[in-house]
Amino acid sequence: MEPSQLPIHRRLQIVFFTLLSSAVLLHATHPIATAILRFLTTHLLLTTVTASVAGVLLLLHLRSRPYPVLLLNYSCFRPPPDRKCTYELANDFVLQSCRFSSSEPVEFMRNIYAKSGLGDETYAPPFMFEEKQTPTLKNAVQEAEEGIFSAVDSLLTKTKVLQEEIDVVIVTCGSFSPSPSICSLIVNRYNLKPDVKTYNLSGMGCSSGVVSIDLAYRILRGGGRKVKNVLVVITESITLNWYEGEERSMLVTNCIFRVGCAAALVTNDPRRRSTAKMELMHSLRTHHGADDSAYRAAFQEEDGKGITGVSLTKDLIRVAGVNLRQHIKILAPRVLPISQLVRYVYSVITMAMSGGEMKPIVPDFMTAFDHICVHTGGKAVIEQVGQVMKLSDLVTEPARMSLNRFGNTSSSLVFYELAYFEAKERVARGDKMWMIAFGTGFKVGSLVWKWLSDSETESDNPWNDCIHKFPLKVW
C-alpha cells in the first residue's frame, strides 16, 4: 500500500515515530534534538496515560450499562379436554353442590353467565369433577401443581435453559398462599440451586401477571451480571375461591373466573437475543388505592352470613375507565410519536380556553403500537377499554376471543391473549405490542414489547386445537 493510501491516523503515527527515532539518534550531539526528544517522550507519556484512562472508563461504562431485558419464551397451561366447563356442567354443579334459600341466586348466575362473553370450552378446577364436589386444600394444591408443572416443563424444554441457570423465581398467585410457598414447591420439584432467589406475590388480582414481569425487569436491570435468568410463574386458584353464599356482587366471580396458568423466562443475557421472542422496552405500574372507590372496587370480605367471597362492585367499570385515563397520561409521553403528543397538548389548551366545554382528544395509540393485549377481565371491561381508547373491534378481537375460549384466567390472561396473536401469525419482527391489565387495589400495569422475530405457532400453543374456529361472532 502506498503511504498516501494509509489512513490519516496511521500517517500521523509514522511521522511521530520518525521524529522520535531521529531525535534519539541525534540528541547526544545536538541540543535541539535533545529538546525535541524531551517533548516527544513527554507527549507520548501523556497520550498513553490519557488513552489508558479513557479505555478503563469506557470499559467500566460498558460493564455497568444494563443489558436489554428479553422475553426468552413463555408457555400457557391447557387443561385436558375432560375439564371443560360447559354451561350444562356449571348449571348442574350449582344445583347439586350449593344450598340456596331460593332460586334467585341460581337465576342471577345464569343471567350473568349468558352475558359474560364466555363460551363452552373454558376450564374448571378438578374438584368440580369429583363425586363430592367439595373444595379442599388438597384440591387447591392439585390445581396449582397441574398448571405450574405443565407450563414450566414445557417452557424449560423449549428454551433449553437448565435448572442451575435459573437465578430468580417469581410466583404470583392472588389468593392462594400455602405453606411451604408455591416458590418452595417449584424449587423442590425442579431441584433449583441453593442460592436461587424467590419472590411470592399475592393479593394483586388480574394485574399481577404484568406486575411480576415488571419485577423481573427491575431485578435484571439492577442485579448486575450475576443475575441472568428469571423464571416467572403466573397462576391463580379457583378451588378455594368458589363462593357459596347468596350475595350478588360475590356470585359474579363464580361465573367469569376459570383455570389458567402461564410461565415465562425473562433474561438479560445478550447471547440469548437471537433466540428470544421480544424485548421489553417500557414497563409502567400505577396504584390508585388512595381513592376509596378504587380501593374497594374489587374486595375480598365476608358476607352477612360470614361466608368469604370477592365482591365486584357496580363501580368497578367506572373505576377501570377513570384510572386507565390517569395511567395513559403517564405512559403516553414515553411511547407516542411527537405528532400525537402535539395534538393532545393542543386539545388540552383548547379545553382550558373553552372553560371545560371541550374535552381533550384521546391520542391514537395505534400510531405507537401494532398490537394490544387488552385486559380480558370481562365483557364490560373490554368494552370500557375499547371506548376509552377508541379501539376498533379488530384491535379488541384477541381479548374477546380469549375471554370466550378461556374465560377470565386472572393474572395469566394477557399471555393467553399473546398466544392468540401467535396462533394467528399476526406479529412480525419489529412490531410493538402493548399489554395492559387491571388489578385489585386498584392497579393498572403496562408492558411495551418489541418483537425480535416473526410469530410462529409452537407445539404447546393452547389455541392449536381450535384457532381455525376464531374469531367468532359472539358479541
Residues catalogued as catalytic: 206, 287, 371, 375, 408
Cα 287 to Cα 289: distance, rounded to the nearest angstrom: 6
Q: Cell match 387443561: residue?
A: 79
Q: Take residue 129 and report the three cell numbers written for it.
A: 369433577
Q: Take residue 342 and report the three cell numbers written for it.
A: 402535539
Sign of the alpha-carbon torsion through 54, 55, 60, 66: positive
Q: Which is nearest to 314 in space by CA: 63, 153, 112, 123?
A: 112
Q: List, in sequence order, every residue forming a beta bridge with 451; answer none if it has no partner.
A: 278
The DSSP secondary-structure symbol of 273 reads G
Q: Which is nearest to 124 in space by CA: 12, 222, 40, 241?
A: 241
- Compute and round to an integer the Cα radius of gyration of the chain: 29
* Phi and psi at residue 445, to the nearest 5°: -130, 140
Cα 279 to Cα 432: distance, rounded to the nearest angstrom: 10
H/E run at residue 450: strand 443-451
Sign of the alpha-carbon torsion through 102, 103, 106, 111: negative
Cα 474 to Cα 392: distance, rounded to the nearest angstrom: 16
Q: Which are the contacts of 13, defined by CB distance < 8 A and separation ≥ 6?
A: none
Coil, strand or helix: which one is 319?
Answer: helix
Cα 321 to Cα 326: distance, rounded to the nearest angstrom: 9
Ranges of H-type helices in 206-291: 208-222, 248-256
Which amino acid, residue 447? L
CA 360 remoteness from chain centre: 29
Coil, strand or helix: which one is 92?
Answer: helix
Coil, strand or helix: which one is 265?
Answer: strand
CA 80 remoteness from chain centre: 26
Cα 23 to Cα 146: distance, rounded to the nearest angstrom: 81
How far from each other are the two terminal CA atoms of the chain, in whole angstroms? 75
Coil, strand or helix: which one is 165?
Answer: helix
Q: Which is nearest to 461 in space by CA: 416, 410, 428, 431?
A: 416
Q: List, in sequence order, every residue forming a beta bridge with 450; answer none if it has no partner.
A: 279, 432
* Phi and psi at residue 261, to the nearest 5°: -160, 145
